[in-house]
């Protein structure tokens, strides 16, 4: 996938991880995590279609998304009330305006809804860091590092009882994600497979990428469509093609009524979901 952008993000992520280790050694972080209660599990709908609703103050493609009166807790409550299965929270600071403090605040406001850390993670330390700040899951970009390191992060998440969304940007990465998931001994609800239709070189979206992939090939793993979904009609189309869920960020952040749009996407997706 897009090398230059990911390389910059990976280097920035490594610097953040190294700085964090100066303040708290990994052994101490692990001890603190081990004292925490079990993370929240995703309550997947019996209707077979779910939505992960995202909170991000800004994005590289759209700029500032959060208004002057931005209330992360209010977004969390609206998404939860609309029926979101989980919340995704950006913690990358330079391009997305996120932070671990934002993650903590949303995890506290989310009630029983699990929260996922979304970032350019490169180190198992960052998975532990996510758990300490209230995350029940992490997004792992398959093309971010080599498979050995990604599997180490996946193993750390599983050891903490967390779920992982393995994110791919094309067919080859999606196959790597499937193979990686198959190499670990984990309940199927602890690993999700995601396909992102954004080209990180141009920041343009290619929704046809979703049509070139058969979600049924994922076997027992739930397939999540990411990026570029703007309305209930598009959500319904993806549900009809067999996608198990969506990760929606920008459309919800820009919506006049995020709760209403979340509910509409879920309703249309479940209406058109094929058994």
pLDDT for the residue 114: 98
For residue 79, pLDDT over 90 is answered with: yes
| Among 174, 98, 183, 165, CA closest to 143 | 174
Q: What percent of the chain has pLDDT over 90?
A: 73
Confirm whether pTM is higher than 0.85: yes
- Rounded to an integer, what distance in angstroms lies between the CA atom of residue 262 and that of residue 260? 5
- DSSP character at residue 144: T
pLDDT for the residue 192: 97
Mean pLDDT of 10-36: 97
End-to-end CA distance of the chain: 33
Inter-helix orientation angle 100-109/124-132, to 10°? 40
Mean pLDDT of 11-34: 97
Q: Is 17 exposed, middle or buried (0-12, 13-18, 19+ CB in 10 A)?
A: middle
- Rounded to an integer, what distance in angstroms lies between the CA atom of residue 64 and that of residue 71? 14
Residue range 189-200, pLDDT digits in tens: 899 999 999 877
- Domain ranges for the chain, please list them: 3-37+47-272
- Rounded to an integer, what distance in angstroms lies between the CA atom of residue 189 and that of residue 164? 9
Residue range 217-272, pLDDT digits in tens: 888 899 999 988 999 999 999 999 999 999 998 899 889 999 999 999 999 999 99
Q: Is 152 exposed, middle or buried (0-12, 13-18, 19+ CB in 10 A)?
A: middle
If you classify domain 3-37+47-272 with CATH, what class do you get?
A: alpha beta
What is the token pair recorded at 33?
Answer: 């995590």
| Residue 46 or residue 79, greater confidence | 79
For residue 1, pLDDT over 50 is answered with: no
Residue range 147-190, pLDDT digits in tens: 999 999 999 999 999 999 999 998 889 999 999 999 998 888 89
pLDDT for the residue 108: 95
């Amino acid at each position: 996938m897009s090398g230059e952008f990911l390389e910059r993000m990976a280097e920035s992520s490594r610097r953040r991880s190294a700085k964090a280790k100066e303040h708290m050694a990994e052994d101490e972080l692990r001890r603190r995590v081990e004292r925490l209660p079990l993370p929240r599990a995703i309550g997947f709908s019996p209707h077979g279609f779910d939505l992960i609703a995202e909170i991000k103050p800004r994005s590289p493609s759209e700029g500032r998304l959060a208004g002057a009166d931005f209330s992360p807790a209010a977004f969390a409550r609206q998404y939860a009330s609309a029926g979101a299965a989980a919340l995704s929270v950006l913690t990358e600071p330079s391009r997305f305006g996120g932070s671990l403090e934002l993650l903590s605040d949303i995890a506290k406001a989310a009630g029983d809804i699990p929260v996922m850390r979304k970032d350019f993670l490169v180190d198992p330390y960052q998975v532990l860091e996510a758990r300490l700040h209230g995350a029940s899951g992490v997004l792992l970009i398959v093309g971010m590092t080599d498979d050995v390191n990604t599997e180490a992060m996946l193993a750390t998440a599983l050891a903490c009882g967390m779920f992982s969304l393995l994110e791919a940007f094309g067919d080859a990465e999606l196959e790597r994600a499937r193979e990686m998931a198959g190499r670990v001994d984990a309940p199927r609800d602890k690993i999700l497979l995601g396909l992102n239709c954004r080209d990180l070189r141009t920041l343009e979206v290619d929704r046809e990428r979703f049509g070139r992939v058969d979600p049924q090939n994922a076997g027992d793993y739930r397939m999540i469509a990411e990026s570029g979904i703007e309305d209930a009609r598009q959500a319904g189309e993806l549900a009809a093609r067999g996608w198990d869920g969506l990760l929606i960020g920008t459309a919800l952040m820009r919506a006049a009524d995020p709760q209403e749009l979340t509910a509409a996407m879920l309703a249309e997706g479940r209406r058109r979901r094929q058994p």
